[in-house]
Amino acid sequence: MNYNNYTDIELITLLREGKPSANYVFNLIYLKYSAKFYGFCLYSTGSKEEADELMQDTWMKFYNSIIAGKTTDKILPLLFSIARNIAINNYNHSNKKRSIDLVYFDNDKIEEFADPFGFQSEIEKNELFKMIQIAVNSLDDIYREVMLYYWFGEMKFKDIAIICNENEWTIRKRYERAMKQMDKILKPYLV
């Protein structure tokens, strides 16, 4: 059976049933969300080793919560929420500056942002990519977190608000402020 076209709700229902297909469904969910989710883990922890551990802990908690009856419309926001709570509890003991590794960012979106007409050379794209990465990393944590969810998770503001335990208006304002700060940083290089 091909589960690729199933919604997140349908996949969770199949996962919960515990049939032999449940392993396949879990692997499908993992493959669908792991790349985007790993970028968040890197940001949250600041190191590859801790990101790997956070990734594993989150997937275990995700699976256990689904089996225990947790329901959700969307899997990725649930993963982010679980990981955020684990990271707050386990990894925020240090005050190191976190940086987002844009390796996991959707390159098509960067290219579209960089040059909607496709005339830039590969070197110019790489330079722009590095500048965007520097701009994102220079943001305060609360703004960077919103950008991370919005870009990596392709999440809506209402979903981000739930994860951050804030209202949607606050999240929208943080996103707007983040974009203004990035514009300020990138403007001299893009003119």
- Domain end residue (candidates: 90, 123, 144): 90
- Based on the domain organization, do 85 and 113 belong to the same domain? no
Domain that holds residue 168: 102-190
pLDDT tens digits, one per residue of 128-158: 667 777 777 788 888 988 888 887 777 889 9
The tally of CA atoms less than 13 A away on the side-chain side of residue 39 is: 22
Digit-coded pLDDT (tens) for 53-110: 999 999 999 999 998 888 888 888 889 889 888 877 775 555 444 554 444 444 454 4
70 within some domain: yes
In total, how many domains does the chain have? 2
**Is 136 inside a domain boundary?**
yes
pTM score over 0.85 = no
Round to whole Å and give the CA distance between 150 and 156: 7
pLDDT of residue 118: 52
Q: How large a percentage of the chain has pLDDT more than 90?
A: 15
* Calpha distance 101→107 (Å, rounded): 13
Q: In terms of domains, do 29 and 78 share one? A: yes
pLDDT at 167 over 90: yes
